[in-house]
Amino acid sequence: MELYELNLYMLTEGLKAKKFSASEIFESCKNRIDKCEDNIRALITRTDSTPQTSENPEGVLGGIPTILKDNLCTRGIRTTAASKILGDWKPPYDATAWKLLRESGAVLMGKANMDEFAMGNTCGNSAFGPTHNPNDISRVPGGSSGGSAAAVSAGYVPFSLGSDTGGSIRQPASFCGVYGLKPTYGMVSRYGLISYGSSLDQIGPFARTVRDLQLVMSVISGHDPMDSSSFRDKAHDFTHREDVSLKGKRVAVVKEFQGFGLDAPISEAMKRTLKVLEDEGAIITEVSLPVVSKYAVACYYALAMSEAHTNLERYDGVRLGYTVKDATGIKEMFERVRSYGFGAEVKARIIAGTCLTEPTRCEEYYVAATKVRTLIAQEFSRAFGETDYIIQPVTPSLPGKIGEADDDAMKGYETDLYTLPVNLAGLPGLSFFTGYAGNLPVGLQLIGRRWSDSELLDAGIILERHLGSPKIADGGQATARKKLYLEER
């Protein structure tokens, strides 16, 4: 077995036992990236061109390679948010999440591709082109953190970081066949994360086992004085435990979601997983979320686009990134910079946010959405008075083909409805692996009450025991071999 195939826990234990060195891990991961990157295109910037030494070889993650979504600031290393408007900007500071990983000994291999400013769900809305799903390079990896998920799936690194504003960790984790955690809002510092929707964004990890998620969360979670929304005075223990149990735990499906259609593999995965939960002693129940099912999508987009409009005002050609030097005035400069620098999806969301926060409409849309959000959070709070976890799909469909138009508006609505309510209520959500449908992985989602992240991962450990762990994706190698064979013929 190659070192890149080992999960994070195996690598840390192997290093402790001196079975191999950090340099050997580095070279194995680097060679894997060299072999697969032309097919997958998971990375915007590579930082592995020369051998690197860990800042803290004796740390929890001493010598372990990782990859960051390219909206996480890295001091002195290009950070683009997959947009032309940032150009070759090199931040003068590190995101707190990366600072904590770096101080624990992690080694940065690169910055991952994403939907521009995290706006999208295919990893195709990028100024650097689309990322391909490592399990089938004709299909999308999901978004917006598609590059981070694809990198772990293909064996570039044992873990990576992404961000989740409305499903951007959970959906690509499901599509690529890895585990992904969207933590409780405030569990991980957002300092140094390039903002899309500040009240919705949350940084979280991808890995190939739940135990690996626990290890990463033990490093990156905690209060940060640089982020006023990070939690205070809450003790969270992400230590791995073997004696976890679901006996007597209540796991609910959402009543209002049961009428929605699912692809057969996802429907079968739900049935199989519910049986596992019952066999483990869990009590399967049902909760009703009428406000969520009726208003969550409209509420989310009113808030997210309004916040995007505000957050992206700073990109004006003066303070950051791309600029023009031959404009005849400030107005022309702003127009040219923003017209060239932003992609179509980002422009559309900025314009929508501008309309939603316009003084004559603000009360009707944005302020109303903030009130509905409170109702949604209260509805979830009541639901978690009746249950311990909620289980549901991440998406109703398996990943589509790259560039494939989705003309089914209802299908898009259902997809959003499964993920974005978690962000509105600030809840933790775990995307977990259930198996394969052909060569495509199938994932589901387990949701917990606020601050139950460690218990959520404990439940994930039990599910992983029964449903198995994902394998390293082919990374397009079969396609490459077939192409070479045809060329030789």
Contact 136, 72 (CB under 8 A): no
Residue 312 backbone class (left: φ over 0; alpha: ψ -120 to 50; beta: rest): alpha
Contact 387, 287 (CB under 8 A): yes
Rounded to whole angstroms, the Cα distance separating 131 from 467 reads 27
Rounded to whole angstroms, the Cα distance separating 187 from 205 reads 12
Q: Which amino acid is at 401?
A: K
Contact 60, 215 (CB under 8 A): yes
* 390 φ/ψ angles, rounded to the nearest 5 degrees: -120, 130
Q: Which two tokens stand for residue 114?
A: 């994403």
Per-position DSSP letters for 413-476, written without gaps between them: HHHHHHHHHHHHHT--EEEEEEEEETTEEEEEEEEE-TT-HHHHHHHHHHHHHHH--PPPP-TT
Residue position matching structure tokens 């979670």? 221
Rounded to whole angstroms, the Cα distance separating 239 from 432 reads 19
Contact 83, 120 (CB under 8 A): no
The verdict on whether 69 is a catalytic residue reads yes
Eight-state DSSP code of residue 350:
H
Contact 30, 109 (CB under 8 A): yes
Per-position DSSP letters for 275-326, written without gaps between them: HHHHHTTPEEEEE--HHHHHHHHHHHHHHHHHHHHHHGGG-SSSSSS---S-
* Of the candidates 247, 321, 231, the residue with the CA atom closest to the CA atom of residue 281: 247
Rounded to whole angstroms, the Cα distance separating 117 from 320 reads 14
Query: Among the options 148, 168, 189, 306, which is catalytic?
Result: 168
Contact 475, 35 (CB under 8 A): yes
What are the angstrom distances between the C-alpha of 281 and each of 103, 152, 210, 245?
41, 32, 20, 8
Query: Among the options 144, 195, 221, 452, which is catalytic?
Result: 144
The verdict on whether 221 is a catalytic residue reads no
Query: Among the options 69, 99, 111, 249, which is catalytic?
Result: 69
Q: How many CA atoms lie within 13 A of 93 on its CB side?
A: 8
* Of the candidates 440, 403, 410, the residue with the CA atom closest to the CA atom of residue 125: 403
Please give the positions annotated as active site: 69, 144, 168
